[in-house]
Amino acid sequence: MTAKALCVNSGEYLRFALSIRMDFIKAAFIGEKLIAEAEIEHGKKIAFCRLEVKRGDETVARGLAIAYSTDAKRP
């Protein structure tokens, strides 16, 4: 979930996860090289982070994380 953490925790304000959902489409095995990509869209308080895990060109998992943005700035 590192891609989700980087995506949701980017920016100048602190965010907290409201929901995280991952759908696993295919099995992955120890030793395989997987690449996780994340894309964020956000309004004033809610951020949506789309996640995709790939093995080469093949999608292994997809997910969505929803986060709440606080008024507190990162230290």
Write out pLDDT tens, residues 5-16.
656 666 677 888
Share of residues in the chain with pLDDT > 90 (%) = 39
Q: Tell the burial category of 11 from Cβ atoms under 10 Å away from its Cβ (0-12, 13-18, 19+).
A: middle
- Which pLDDT score is estimated for 31? 95
Query: Which residues span the domain enclosing 9?
Result: 2-73
Overall domain count for the chain: 1
Is pTM beyond 0.85? Reply is no
What is the tens place of the pLDDT at every residue in 21-34? 999 999 999 999 99
Q: What is the CATH number of the domain that holds 26?
A: 3.10.129.10
The mean per-residue pLDDT over the stretch 31-59 comes to 90
In whole angstroms, give the CA distance from residue 62 to residue 40.
Answer: 14
